Amino acid sequence: MSEIKNLVEVKHLKEYFPINTGLFKTKPLKAVDDVSFAIRKGETLGLVGESGCGKTTVGRTLLHLYKPTAGEIWFDGKQIVSKADILEYRKKSAMVFQDPYSSLNPRMTVSDIIAEPLDVHKLYTSHKERQEKVLELMNRVGLNSEHANRYAHEFSGGQRQRIGIARSLAMGPEFVVCDEPVSALDVSIQAQVINMFDELQEEMGLTYLFIAHDLLVVRHISDRIAVMYLGKMVEMADANEIYSHPLHPYTKCLMSAVPLPDPIKARENKRIVLSGDIPSPLNAPFGCPFRTRCPYATDACAESMPEFKEVSSGHFVACHNLEKFG
């Protein structure tokens, strides 16, 4: 059996934003600070963490919507460096945005919104071909052909997100970054949209980076899960492994907050409550960023950032004190 190759590789990615702190003075906000990971062809990597941890910035930098401060992005064995590389890469990648209300142009019909990537890259020879492609995309995401000439404000949140997904699939991408695509939707609609992502992945052979903060949603759709805290990657493993055997103290805290459907198990489940507030990325603690809230922190945690290393097959963790509680 041949090994499944990586479609996307990220090596030591950094994204710093200069913030004005006074007259002619700036300070870097380290939104993403030395992050490395790979996504295999056809898999879904879930990316989780608190609001402000840098997960959306990872997704946007990965698609070159932000220019990376440092690091390497590889796609299908080729490093993305030049403008020509980025243009080619954007034809094979897409993004589904979080808010279906603000990511669609209110002045454009559904047909024009979905056809926008086709218009930009001139991927049709006639108006008839354009219309056929639009209707095929609408059908794929569960929209009717009579919706084509209506405007975005006439639809519900779930339908708007389907329009956004149809637009992202217009170029026939291989890789899709899903930035919290269901967090603005009702719970009943969330399940429908998540199932649709699964079906589209099977039909079209898609590879996903699925960014979310809802751990139940991430578990349902992801093959592997990566956990971020304050711009750093702290743990990454198979979805079942990270739920049944979390190693990093922050991951353990996140998993303890996942609601359990069984009332007996829910009562037995000990919720880990962190003390203190999440530090500002502008003034992140030196060493391990989690040490200010970690019950196991030692002097070593303040001196250096622990290495993000493989501790068992496919299970990566960044922690100095694993032997104490792992």
Residue 275 pLDDT > 50: yes
> What digits encode the pLDDT tens for the residues 24-61?
889 999 999 999 999 999 999 999 998 889 999 999 99
Compute the average pLDDT of residues 118-137: 91
| 287 has pLDDT over 80 | yes
Kindly state whether residues 133 and 281 are assigned to the same domain: no
Nearest to 246 by CA among 176, 320, 322, 301: 322
Which range, of 26-30, 68-72, 171-175, 184-188, averages the lowest pLDDT? Answer: 184-188
Backbone angles phi, psi at 173, to 5 degrees: -70, 160
- Are 288 and 301 in contact by the 8 Å Cβ rule? The answer is yes
Residue 84 and residue 178 in one domain = yes
The total domain count for the chain is 2
pLDDT tier at 2, thresholds 50, 70, 90:
very low
Question: Are 264 and 223 contacting, i.e. CB atoms less than 8 angstroms apart?
Answer: no
What pLDDT is stored for residue 13 in this prediction? Answer: 97
3-state SS record for 39-95: EECCCEEEEECCCCCCHHHHHHHHCCCCCCCEEEEEECCEECCCHHHHHHHHHCEEE
| Final residue of a structural domain among 147, 168, 189 | 168
Are 62 and 16 members of one domain?
yes
Domain that holds residue 202: 6-92+173-325
Tell me the average pLDDT across 107-113: 94
Check whether residue 31 and residue 44 sit in a common domain: yes
Residues β-bridged to residue 229: 232
Residue 24 phi/psi, 5° resolution? 60, 20
**Residues 122 and 201 both lie in one domain:** no
Gap between the Cα atoms of 4 and 119, Å rounded: 34
Q: What is the CATH number of the domain that holds 280?
A: 3.40.50.300
Residue 278 confidence (pLDDT): 78
Are 24 and 131 in the same domain? no
Q: How confident is the model at residue 197 (pLDDT cuts 50, 70, 90)?
A: very high
pLDDT reading at 1 higher than 70: no
Mean pLDDT of 151-157: 91
What is the pLDDT at residue 262?
A: 66
| Residue 279 confidence (pLDDT) above 80 | yes
Asked if residue 237 belongs to a domain, the reply is yes
Shared domain check, 142 and 36: no
pLDDT value for 265: 65
Percent of the chain with pLDDT over 90: 67
pLDDT at 149: 93
Handedness of CA 207, 211, 214, 219 (dihedral sign): positive
How far apart CA 305 and CA 285 sit, in angstroms, is 10
| 252 and 320 assigned to the same domain | yes
What local confidence, expressed as pLDDT, does residue 266 receive? 61
CA distance 175 to 128: 28
Mean pLDDT, the chain, rounded, equals 90
In contact, 185 and 160? CB cutoff 8 Å: no
More confident residue, 51 or 211: 211
Is residue 15 a part of any domain in this protein? yes
Q: The whole model's pTM is what?
A: 0.92
Query: Do 231 and 193 share a domain, yes or no?
Result: yes
